[in-house]
Structure 1
Amino acid sequence: MLHRTPRLSTADQHVLAEVASMRRALHHAVQQVPTKWTLGLRRHLTASAIAASNAIEGYRVDARDVADLMDDAQEKVDVSEANRAETVAYQQAMTYIQSLHAAPDFEYSKGLLNALHWMLQGHHPHKPAGQWRRGPVFITAAGDPHATEYEGPHEDDVSTLMDELIDWLNSGDMDSDPLVRAAMAHFNLVKIHPWADGNGRMSRSLQTLLIAREGVLAPEFSSIEAWLGMPGHTWDYYKVLREVGGPVYSPVRDTALWVRFNLRAYHEQTQSVRHRVDRSNKCWIQLDERRGALGVTEHQITALHEVAVTGRVRRSRYERAEGISEQQAQRDMRHLTRENLLTPIGNTKGRYYVPGSRYPQNVLDTAAARHTVRNPYEDIG
């Protein structure tokens, strides 16, 4: 038996309607600008999701370093080998999930989920990956390694429960909003806890996949993993999982609080992404308007824009983004450095570039513009 999808309250329905409206507006905003303008932002949003979801599990890598590792797993980035391996593995799984968002003849299966799990965990030589756990699972309470916060269902029940979940993913509650179904998919998978390790990231990845399959927004604009990875939100995330799920597998428990938590996450993440898209577009326009005065080419605007959006750029990423040769990318970086538009940091392969003394201040101000994210439930009387 799975946890059931709850009936939405009037407040929930109001928030869900606002999320739908904002996501449609965001889709329109993305579609109205050249694809080139959003490529860097798409990459950074994906990197932020990977960094946040891994951080929840204790693997901490700056989103900018994640973006570098996404381009080249062997990039010279100052991270531990364990963090590098976890980042590259999650990026592999996320790339596959993003590729499935519009796949024809798609269906959920045990094989799909186990394959995604192997992508996440297959690099661990002593942990079984891509197969159900063969023993009990206990979630330890924070700060007390001897206290059990949650006990998953018996290992003998896992296969049957996963059969039920797969059936539900393909045909269950189809009259529910896709965002609600995605939240329930996350909750049911994390509570079944079918693998020995990696269940949290798999559950968050499954939620992202369901949202992506909805088709309103590309996966990188849809995931709430970055929101969940914010320190205060991570605490709330664990708290609501604990409160709604109970100490043992209890599918009769009310899941309304979990869905409400996710609706808030959808709403606030969409607010943040829309602001980031707006800032990114404005930065590109401002740079392009000053292209002649700055003495740069259209290609070179890409490098300057990357610096505005993420704070730095590497030659290798600029080269890939523009599809130019290594020699041309090196010439462009030398030109931007001579013009004091960029300043190099570090040497050889580890080098990256930050704004130079002549980098337009109005662009940096636009990139740094603050915004307020509101909790949608606080506005409802």
Structure 2
Amino acid sequence: MLFRLPEIDDADGRVLAGLERLRADLRHQVAEPRRWLGQLRRSLIAGAIRGSNTIEGFTVGVADAEAAAAGEEMPTPHDRQTRDAIAGYTDALTYVQQAARFEVFSYHPMLLSVLHFTMLRSELERSPGRYRLGPIWVAGSPDNPPVYTGPDAALLPDLVEELCGWLQNGDLDAPAVVRAAMAHLNLVSIHPWRDGNGRMSRCLHTLVLARELILAPEFSSIEEWLGSSPYNTAMYYAALGEAQGGSYQPDRDAHGWVRFCLRAHHLQAQTVERRLETAREIWRVLADQVAAAGLGERAVAALYAATRPDGVRRVTYARDEGLTRDQAVRDLQGLKKAGLIEEVGHGRTQRYLAVGPAAQAERSVRNEHAGRPLRDPYGSP
């Protein structure tokens, strides 16, 4: 037995309608060719990687997550377990992005096992991809009783099979975001594996939305929002705890959980909308500075990338823009000579950071947009 879809009330309906309006606007904006969209997409993918792993205690900086999303080595040294967790989740999320448009696709227990193996492949001692063989519980802290106890291991094959059958054929007329929330709740409550259940459940949430083509997965995920602050993470665990009731009780009402997810999606969509507006304005200001310096329009992409937390590497810029090594070097040296970027590091760590008027303009635009509070879709404080 699985958690059933709850009744959607009028307040939920208004939030769903508002979320659809936000997404329609985002679809329109991302459909227009904008050279900064590629970098924004990578930033959003990095946010999902960083957010979901932060919840599990694997914390990396923005620059590290963006490097992982770009397929590059993280600039900051980390222990092996953290590096492996980030790499595994990045690979799983890459699959989700591609699976959005697979012509042949079905939800199957083997799909979930493969995704789980992808995430935890470096920890074979944890049996990635294999169901746990014994009991499991989630401990709030070593000094307190478990906050959640999963179902008996003997029930796992049937429960996962039922979940995949529901994903394939159940409640198909329900809003996709509601189905994604219920897939998340059911998988994390079944807790089929020894480890990685939370990451897998958040990844499945994103996969359900990706398959419905709500938007590109990087624009639809709430993984970044869930892990973006201790407050958000605490609310996430509280919503899960309220729905689960401490053990596997699928007859409990999941309305509070669905409402939590709808609110999170709405807030994440507002955040993405703000980033689009911010990116557009930053690009415009930097384009004026590049033109005033007498440089070609192509260099705007390099200068925009240099405003990111870890700046821009020559190889990344060349790859993103389809340039030769000499073209990339020429653009970067021109920006450096104009006093818009500076070079830091050497060899593998060498990168370029925005300075002077470029850095000032980026900070000014970002601070202006960040000063506006987000709207709570349910109107609560």
TM-score with structure 1 setting the length: 0.94
Superposed counterparts of 1:155-174, under 5 Å: 155-174=153-172
In structure 2, what is the Cα distance between the partners aligned to 1:63 and 1:80? Answer: 17
Alignment partner of 1:338 is 2:310 = no
Q: Look up the match of 2:83.
A: 84
Q: Look up the match of 1:179.
A: 177
| Aligned pairs, number | 378
CA contact (8 A) 2:138 2:149 kept: yes
Specify whether residues 15 and 59 from structure 1 end up closer, same or farther in structure 2 by C-alpha distance, changes over 3 A only. Answer: same
Displacement of 1:255:
0.3
Specify whether residues 82 and 315 from structure 1 end up closer, same or farther in structure 2 by C-alpha distance, changes over 3 A only. Answer: farther
Q: Which amino acid aligns with 1:12?
A: D
In structure 2, what is the Cα distance between the partners aligned to 1:37 and 1:193? Answer: 40
1:233-276 C-alpha deviation (Å, 9 max, x unpaired)? 10010111111101110000000000000010011000000000
CA contact (8 A) 2:63 2:74 kept: no
In structure 2, what is the Cα distance between the partners aligned to 1:353 and 1:241? Answer: 43
In structure 2, what is the Cα distance between the partners aligned to 1:351 and 1:145? Answer: 46
Specify whether residues 310 and 25 from structure 1 end up closer, same or farther in structure 2 by C-alpha distance, changes over 3 A only. Answer: farther
1:272-302 C-alpha deviation (Å, 9 max, x unpaired)? 0000011112222222234321232233211
Provide the alpha-carbon RMSD of the alignment. Answer: 1.8
Q: Look up the match of 2:234.
A: 235
Q: Which amino acid aligns with 2:8?
A: L
Q: Look up the match of 2:26.
A: 26
Q: Look up the match of 2:2.
A: 2
In structure 2, what is the Cα distance between the partners aligned to 1:98 and 1:304? Answer: 28
Displacement of 1:379:
6.3
Gaps of 5+ in 2: none
Superposed counterparts of 1:1-381, under 5 Å: 1-34=1-34, 36-141=35-140, 143-145=141-143, 147-229=145-227, 230-308=229-307, 310=309, 312-359=311-358, 361-369=360-368, 370=370, 371-378=372-379
Q: Which amino acid aligns with 1:154?
A: D
In structure 1, what is the Cα distance between the partners aligned to 2:74 and 2:137? Answer: 37
Displacement of 1:179:
0.4
Of 332-341 and 58-67, the range deviating more from structure 2: 332-341
In structure 1, what is the Cα distance between the partners aligned to 2:74 and 2:264? Answer: 33
Secondary structure (helix, strand or coil) at the match of 2:356 reads coil
In structure 2, what is the Cα distance between the partners aligned to 1:322 and 1:239? Answer: 44
Displacement of 1:159:
0.3
Specify whether residues 13 and 243 from structure 1 end up closer, same or farther in structure 2 by C-alpha distance, changes over 3 A only. Answer: same
Q: Which amino acid aligns with 2:364?
A: D
Gaps of 5+ in 1: none
In structure 1, what is the Cα distance between the partners aligned to 2:145 and 2:212? Answer: 40
In structure 1, what is the Cα distance between the partners aligned to 2:329 and 2:121? Answer: 37
Of 154-163 and 330-339, the range deviating more from structure 2: 330-339
TM-score with structure 2 setting the length: 0.94
Secondary structure (helix, strand or coil) at the match of 2:238 reads helix
Q: Which amino acid aligns with 1:10?
A: D
In structure 2, what is the Cα distance between the partners aligned to 1:358 and 1:278? Answer: 20
In structure 1, what is the Cα distance between the partners aligned to 2:321 and 2:21? Answer: 34
Q: Which amino acid aligns with 2:84?
A: A
Runs of 4+ with deviation above 6 angstroms: none
1:75-117 C-alpha deviation (Å, 9 max, x unpaired)? 5433333222111111111111000111113211111111111
